[in-house]
Amino acid sequence: MGEPTTQTLLKSAVEGERSSLARLLSKIERDSKVENEIRTSLAGGQATSLVIGITGPPGAGKSTLISALLSHTTASYEKTAVLAVDPSSPFSGGALLGDRVRMQSHGLGDRVFIRSMASRGESGGLARATSTAIQLLEACGWPLILLETLGIGQVELEVMDLATVVTVILNPGWGDTFQANKAGLTEAGDVFVINKADKDGAQQTRADLQDSLSLMHSPVPIQIFDTIAVKQDGVESLWQGIKDYLKDAQAVGLIEQKLLSRRRRLLMRILQRDFDDRISAYWRSDRGGNQVLSTLAGDLTIEALRNDLFAHMTKLD
Amino acid sequence: MQKSPTDKAVYSRSGIELKSFYTESDIPQEHRSRVTSNPGDAPYHRGFHPSGYRSKPWRIFQLSGFGKPEDENERIKFLLKNGETGFIMEHDRNTGDHCYNVDHPEVVARREDVGLTGAVMQSIRDTAICMDGLPIGSSFGHAGGAVVQHAPFALASYWTVAKQRGFDLEKLPGTGQSDFNLTYLGCVTKEQIPTQPGLRFNADIIEFCDRYLPYWVPVSIAGYNAADTGLTPDQELGVLFANAVEYLDEIRRRGSVDLARAARACGGVSFRASIEFIEEACKMRAARLMWADLLHKRYGISDPKVANLRIHCVTAGSKMTYQQPLNNIVRGTLMALGAVFGGVQSLGVSGYDEALSIPSEHAHQMSVRIQQILQEETGISNVTDPLGGSYYIETLTAQLAEKAWIFFDEIQKQGGYLAALDSGWLHACASENQYQEFMDMERGDQQVIGVNCFKDDGSPFEVDGFMGTDDAFDVATQRLKEVLRTRHEAGAASALKQLEADCRSDANIMPAMMEAMSAEVTLGEIGDVYRDVFGNWDTPIQT
Amino acid sequence: MAKTGLDGHWRGPTIVARALRDAGFEVIMIGMANTDDIVTSAVDEDVDLVGLNIGGHIDVAIRSIENVQAVRPGLPIFAGGTIPPHAAKQLEALGVEVYLSAQNICILWMPQSS
């Protein structure tokens, strides 16, 4: 008995078999061909699931907040999937993924699906396969997907492309330590959370944040919530706030706009990935290798190399 | 110590470069005047008292506990009969550390583990069984409660039973540890209160003991738990004092207890005694030096009764090997020797079966015998600070203190000890060291006899582990039902309500905890209050 | 990587997780996990290997091993911890191979086929 084909797994996953979904997620992480196959198979589907991006600096409490949100999200949407992205080691390629430690005591059984993902060298806060993973979860009937970004502190704007609503988690004192990222994070967010709000400086952080947000021109009012996720404090209000945001955004057509941009972005990514793969293949081929050497030796201009690449990349697969 | 060719630099476990021999000129200038001080005089590195072990032998104090409260009681009596001079009442980790009753789903899922590392004590009825016939008035007792959230229950239940038996709390000796290094660094539980309420609990205990139990050591900071998690000896010192200032600053902020008395209360600490026993002896000496220095500089306290640190020491469990376990008797002896050279007041030696299981009766007996042989046969107790004045010992003592202050300052830069726990900074330090230690062994840079050299071809199983009893869960389940059925329900409910109200306010929780014990409120009910009021600590996992 | 018990000694799993990461593994830490958590994680994360830190009584570990095997037949499982010799023998009798590592023993579950 060999390994089932991608299509067999896909059929079974869409019918609700968790282990097939899990196996497919591994396959798309490992193999961009499978990823493309899945993308293509699911391309016609509507983006129907609600994707909530959870981003913010490391240690802000993203996992804990997700864990606290699960009982509320499953009350509204019945089921919730979580994709939690953690950084890969640039040296070994390995990773330690710790989000489940905080998330798994939800007691909601099969209604929650949690999947850890290593970034595998991607910058931007997500993994290469994240967007396809979301597509797949949608196709498998997960109506709500919580997407936790790396949180390594840099601006992680990619989450904006995938999420219907982006929740930014900050802590008191954030303004002092994350000065450089202020603009990026405030730009990314639709809903803001000051977690660990019982710590010193919460008031100041709120004021700082309001300052930064006043420069933004959002068609929908942007709210700031105080939470103490470890105590569940403020989590219910936050969930209500996210739902309110969605309602307001729906009313002004923002959701539709976001869904469209998400699908455009997905399409763009498919092409981009395909393009990247073809460039790599050209680079590794005998022809490409020789052309590159000639260019390095000064026998060929970069312009000529580019033309040769365009002429021959389509023939490679 | 690293094994290296002669031309290569050699370092102590703390990373201090070692010379092949020492002379007088190596002793740092500022330490020279101290070398001539006498034991019992400031800055106390030479020892607690001029007559040392002649007037007061160190306490033989072994960690003990398993099974049902009566099993634990029997083992403690066995140890006392064999010459132990204090006793430790370990509580079951599944229930105790987590403040769960045995019917908690997480405990039920692991029912066979219940009672493995301590007796199950869910109400004062259980504590009373465990304490039955123990010399609590005359012997230094450890009531359990090493984990911070568990300490108020463990202490209050011990004290309540003592009171019911007619003992005067004003005279009761003992401790309960309530250690942050264990709770938030070395032995992180599945769920527990965050560090801030943890600090409050400990300050409450210090206040309560100051008022009602003057002979009780309210909290005992355990460097051991930081060291066996990976911190080097200098870091162990630094972290211990960083922890101490967190307690004392909180007490000073509250202003409710005389600061010198609080400092005295915090001055009963414990360290790990590891296998590099000369450095470890220096560590104990450096600790006394540092404590006196810290109290003087930071709090203006120099009263000898306060500034003189009392040290309990436990030999390094993680250095005990699985292979050729009888070698561990030698290791335990050497580690104990280092502690005694360092002038500690109290000592526990890990069982030779430490890597296999909790100690068997025989292993426990050997741990006591090692100490008795040191005390009675070697003559080591005759002279205080026998290593004092050695060029090497004095130099290393001074260097360790200096290096430890650097680590102390680094912790302050992280925002202080609690912040360094919350952020995972200390965990990262420990984890890095333990990984390096592990790799040193894997590569053979660090030889460990019987493990990566001089291995046996035969079966490693020359000693079997001790598994305790197998009825702890069932009996605890029965007893829980029994106490819930037969206690005065309205009394219990009202005591629990008061405890919750006090947890939510700024009140000291201990009076309500004492009332709750008398009303037979159970451990899990108290834990539920904590979880509701304080939430769960956000464990800083390093990724 | 999971701890089957509620005893908080983390030194072992932390070292092993680190060593695996440095060898290029993606290590999903799930902390103190009961049998159901371990099974759910093994399935949802589609793991290639399960690592258990098992202390003391091994009944809980055996239950976890059997339940994982039930949903993921043939999935290799390794474990380490304070395992008394008689318990190690019990595991050997079940087909587990026992190796001696740095300080504590490390055991590897070898299912029938692999």
Question: Domain extents for chain A?
Answer: 1-44, 45-252, 278-315
Q: What is the pLDDT of residues A113-131, one digit of tens each?
A: 999 999 988 777 788 889 8
Pairwise pLDDT comparison (B462 vs B440), residue with the higher score = B440
Distance from C-alpha of B439 to C-alpha of B430, rounded to nearest angstrom: 14
Give Rg (Cα) of chain B: 23
Partners of residue A98 in chain C, C-beta under 8 Å: 29
Is residue B115 scored above 70 in pLDDT?
A: yes
> In which domain, by residue range, is C75 found?
2-109
Write down the CATH number for the domain with range A45-252: 3.40.50.300
Tell me how many residue pairs between chain A and chain B have CB atoms under 8 A apart: 34
Indicate the residue of B94, B438, B442 with minimum beta-carbon distance to C6: B94
Residue for token pair 């991006």: A53
Per-residue pLDDT band at A173 (split at 50, 70, 90): confident
pLDDT cut 90: percent of chain B above it = 89
Residue B408's SS3 state is helix
Which of A304-313, B262-271, C86-95 comes out lowest in average pLDDT?
C86-95
Distance from C-alpha of B520 to C-alpha of B526, rounded to nearest angstrom = 11
Top pLDDT among C114 and B223 is at B223
Is C114 domain-assigned?
Answer: no
Put simply, whether B541 touches A (Cβ < 8 Å) is: yes
Encode pLDDT of A192-209 as tens digits: 999 999 888 899 889 888
Which of the two residues, A295 and B323, has the higher pLDDT score?
Answer: A295
At residue B458, the pLDDT reads 58
Q: Of the segments A160-169, A303-312, B370-379, which one has the largest average pLDDT value?
A: B370-379
Residue environment code for B124-155, b if the CB has 16+ CB neighbours within 10 A, otherwise e: bbbbbbbbeebebeebbbbbbbbbbbbbbbbb
pLDDT at A128: 83
Which chain B residue has its CA at the smallest distance from A152's CA? Answer: B543
The CA–CA distances, whole Å, from A262 to A32, A51, A145, A220, B250 equal: 20, 11, 14, 19, 52
Question: What's residue A250's pLDDT?
Answer: 92
Q: At B340, give phi and psi (nearest 5°).
A: -70, -40
Domains, chain B, ranges and CATH?
45-443 (3.20.20.240)
CA pair distance B395, B404, nearest whole angstrom: 14
- Is B446:C67 a contact under the CB 8 Å cutoff? no
| Confidence class for position A299, pLDDT limits 50, 70, 90 | very high
Provide the terminal-to-terminal Cα distance of chain B, rounded to the nearest Å. Answer: 30
Confidence (pLDDT) at C114: 36
The pLDDT of residue A104: 79
- Please count the structural domains in chain C: 1
Residues B38 and B47: their CA atoms lie apart, in Å, by 8
CA angle A171, A176, A182 (to 5 degrees): 75
The predicted complex's ipTM stands at 0.91
| Cα separation, B413 vs A297, whole angstroms | 53
Closest CA–CA distance from residue C37 to any residue of chain A (Å): 7
A104 vs C21, C30, C71: nearest CB: C30
Q: pLDDT confidence of C108, banded at 50, 70, 90?
A: low
Mean pLDDT throughout A43-61?
A: 84
| pLDDT digit string, tens, across residues B141-176 | 999 999 999 999 999 999 999 999 999 999 999 999
pLDDT at B457 over 70: no
Tally Cβ neighbours within 10 Å of residue C98.
16
Do B423 and A230 count as a contact with CB atoms less than 8 A apart? Answer: no
The CATH number that applies at residue C32 is 3.40.50.280
pLDDT in the model for residue C112: 43
Does the distance separating the beta carbons of A59 and B424 come in below 8 Å? yes
Question: How sure is the predictor about C77, in pLDDT bands with cuts at 50, 70 and 90?
Answer: confident
